[in-house]
Amino acid sequence: MTRIAPAILVAFSLASAAVDAHHSHADFALDRNVTLTGTIEGVQFQNPHVLIMVRTDSAGLYTAEWQAAGWLQSHQELVSPGSAPLTNRTLQAGDRIVIVGSPPRDSVLRSLVNLKEVRRPRDGWVWSCRRPGMTPTC
């Protein structure tokens, strides 16, 4: 038993370091938000993060890193109208969307993180972590 405890402690320490490294966004301006408008080229609805590839009219292809698929599915209160859960069929290639998120510090990187809002104007669908009357979740 005394050999197992140090092994568990080391494994836990390594796992904690990996989680911290995974969520480090030092290369992004988390204190700023930009709005990106474009057409979805693809969606990877997965864990640990949903990725949305968006082609803008002027700046080319961007990747937006969203929350985990499981997290998005379990927080349907952030979706309107109707508070329907987000699924792998909610957003599709060809959809025109507007995304608000934090930009990279280096403008050569074409990505957004820490998304605050995703909107599909054609039908009024909105996901927002900053809903009126709710504590922001992002």
pLDDT for 43-70, tens place per residue?
999 999 999 999 998 879 999 999 999 9
C-alpha span between 120 and 123 (Å, rounded): 6
pLDDT for 92-126, tens place per residue?
999 999 999 999 888 788 999 899 999 999 999 99
pLDDT for residue 51:
97
How much is the average pLDDT of 66-94? Answer: 89
Q: Which domains does the chain have, with CATH numbers?
A: 29-128 (2.40.50.140)
- Helix, strand, or coil here: 14? helix
pLDDT for residue 8:
39
pLDDT for residue 5:
45
Yes or no: say if 116 and 64 are a contact pair by the CB < 8 Å rule.
no
